[in-house]
Amino acid sequence: MDMEKKYPHYTRGWTSKSGSSLKERVQRWGWVVVQSPGVVLGFLWWKDRLGANPVEALHHGLGRWTLYFLLATLLVSPLVRWTRWGFLMPARRTLGLGAFQYGVLHFGLWASLDFDWEWAEIMREILERRYIGWGVAALLGMVPLAWTSPSRAVKLMGGKRWRTLHQLVYFSAGAGSIHFFLKTFPKEGWGASAPYLMVFFFLLSLRAFRIRPKPLRPRA
């Protein structure tokens, strides 16, 4: 939805002199934020600075950033509610698409370098290993969300159905956290995954206790 049209009194002065709206600027900067860890990882890979096992380091890096951006996506609307910084709202889509992008890269690196796209082997791994199953479930959960991310999709579906569908992001974030937990717990214990699990459950509880987000209103 176009913030400037819907809340003209609230968004007055958001359009910059160069003509780009605040929404565009937030999305542009969001995109820069989303791409920078990937750029850093790519640079480190290129310079062979990812340690003794660079493939593993890259794979883990991509996975971690998938989880970070998923949780960041969930954080946007509570943050907007507390701070009334409505202009941050457009960043949600950028962050969500970023999470999907890193998830696809995380999976793609594994499927290509570890399994050479041998689907029979990949399927066997997914079915045999619970933690991989959860990871793949998290990624599959993001597919319809990425698919319906354009504003046009919101219009076609209608806001209510779109919002219902996009509750699926909580499933993906939860499944991603479980994936990370199952992988790290045997070796590192709770330490590695506890922060993400806690953030996830905190954000989930915020969602659970506030069924309908408070509509944005201009500051009194």
Partner 1 sequence: MSLIDWNRQCEPELTSESDWMNRRSFIRCAGLFGTAILLGGCFPEVKELEEIDFDLERAQSAGLPGPDQLTPLRKVTAYNNFYEFGTGKEDPASFAHSLVTEPWTVSVEGHCENPGVLDLDQLLEAQTVEERIYRMRCVEGWSMVIPWQGVSLGKVLERFKPLPQAAFVAFETLFDPEMMVGQRYPHLPWPYLEGLRMDEAMHPLTLLATGLYGKDLPNQNGAPLRLVVPWKYGFKGIKSIVAIRFVEKMPPATWANYVPSEYGFFANVNPEVSHPRWSQRMERRLGEIKRRRTLPFNGYGEEVSSLYTGMDLKKWF
Per-residue tokens: 67: 């989880």
**Selected range binding partner 1 among 4-12, 18-26, 48-56, 207-215, rule: CB under 8 A:** 48-56
The residue within the footprint of partner 1, chosen from 6, 56, 164, 217 (CB under 8 A), is 56
Give the residue with the Cβ less far from partner 1, 33 or 126.
126
The residue within the footprint of partner 1, chosen from 8, 51, 144, 213 (CB under 8 A), is 51
User: Quick check: 120 binds partner 1 (CB under 8 A)?
Assistant: no
Give the residue with the Cβ less far from partner 1, 29 or 117.
117
The residue within the footprint of partner 1, chosen from 9, 13, 47, 116 (CB under 8 A), is 116
**Selected range binding partner 1 among 8-16, 23-31, 72-80, 120-128, rule: CB under 8 A:** 120-128
Residue written as tokens 């968004």?
11
User: Quick check: 113 binds partner 1 (CB under 8 A)?
Assistant: yes
**Rounded alpha-carbon distances, angstroms, from residue 205 to 75, 130, 170, 171, 210:** 12, 26, 11, 13, 8
Best CA proximity match to 139, nearest among 92, 187, 173: 173
Burial of 139 from C-beta contacts in 10 A (0-12 / 13-18 / 19+):
buried
User: Number of residues in contact with partner 1, rule: CB under 8 A?
Assistant: 17
The residue within the footprint of partner 1, chosen from 17, 128, 209, 211 (CB under 8 A), is 128
The residue within the footprint of partner 1, chosen from 16, 35, 36, 53 (CB under 8 A), is 53
The residue within the footprint of partner 1, chosen from 6, 28, 49, 129 (CB under 8 A), is 129
Q: How far is the CB of 108 from partner 1 (least distance, A)?
A: 14
Nearby residues of 85 by Cβ (< 8 Å), 6 or more positions away: 79
Task: Assess contact for 171 and 179: CB atoms under 8 A.
Answer: no
Give the binding site for partner 1 (CB under 8 A).
Answer: 51-53, 55-56, 113-114, 116, 121, 125, 128-129, 131, 183, 186-188
